[in-house]
Amino acid sequence: MSNKQKRVMVTGGAGFLGSHLCERLVKESQHVLCLDNFITGSKANIKHLLNETNFELLQHDLVNPIILPVDQIYNLACPASPVQYQSNPIKTIKTNLLGAINMLELAKKANATILQASTSEIYGDPTMHPQKEDYWGNTNPIGPRACYDEGKRCAETLFFDYYRQAKTRIKVVRIFNTYGPKMDLNDGRVISNFVVQALTNQDITIYGKGNHTRSFCYVDDLTEGLIRMMNSPDNFIGPVNLGNPDEISILEVAKLILRLTQSKSNLIFRDLPQDDPGRRQPDIGLAKERLDWQPTLNLKKGLIQTIEYFKTLL
């Protein structure tokens, strides 16, 4: 990465992942433009950055175009948990599609490099395990999760079409389950749900029998992967998986959180939501080869830090 200060836009910059990325870029002395409409983002996540001379906060909705001089764009704007994106599926689709178009147009006009935060959900309920980037996925295009899954898939299509037709400099990463401080108390993700329920001694809700799996990556590791991808050679555009390849069942996660919190919560079981993936594990061979990247923090250590954060909120 050049020592020259860059103007870096982070859309969804007040969200969980975006705020960590903004903080890291500010520390690296980049000039950060944080865009957020605050539908799911929180000013509390970035309030400590507001007095920094190299940080700007702009309240803006990506369904509307915006033109600013920028060198790099991290397009992270979109609700990322099922509870959030299913609460307003049409808005989710608009953010994915119109947001992608507007940011790609900005990148084209500003001659900027743009990184799309895609998702492991584009693989749907996978028939390949672990999931590699050349797997096309198994998704339901009309189900309740489609606003997010298909929205992200179409956004990837837009990115590659702009790359082929307009020669836009693009990067596409597929993010697997990420966790850590600054997660919202009520965002409906597995880790935040379990930790909050455990700390308040509520029943821990497990959907299905608990034998479906996920692979959880600590947010600092994920942020490092994003930055390495953005600053990789122009001819490496992805898509590339970013996530932790250590697969674990949901039931094991719940039991681990119970031990770490010394909670008295009981485990209760509910029916699985429609189209919930049975297994999720990234193949990160490409990220290791091209970005020299892999997660460094194991789940237990990451959970300890996450639990301490939620204790301060509660």
Q: Is 179 a catalytic residue?
A: no
Strands 217-218 and 178-179, sheet pairing: parallel
Beta strands in the chain, from DSSP E residues, in sequence order: 7-11, 31-36, 55-59, 72-75, 113-119, 169-175, 178-179, 204-207, 213-215, 217-218, 240-242, 247-249, 267-270
Compute the distance between CA of residue 117 and CA of residue 263 in angstroms, rounded to an integer.
Answer: 35
- The number of angstroms, rounded, from the C-alpha of 111 to the middle of its chain's C-alpha atoms is 25
Rounded to 5, what percent of the chain is helix, strand, coil? 40, 20, 40
Compute the distance between CA of residue 31 and CA of residue 54 in angstroms, rounded to an integer.
Answer: 5
Compute the distance between CA of residue 20 and CA of residue 307 in angstroms, rounded to an integer.
Answer: 17
Residues 76, 139: contact at Cβ < 8 Å? no
Catalytic-labelled residue, pool 148, 162, 179, 218: 148
- Return the active site residues: 148
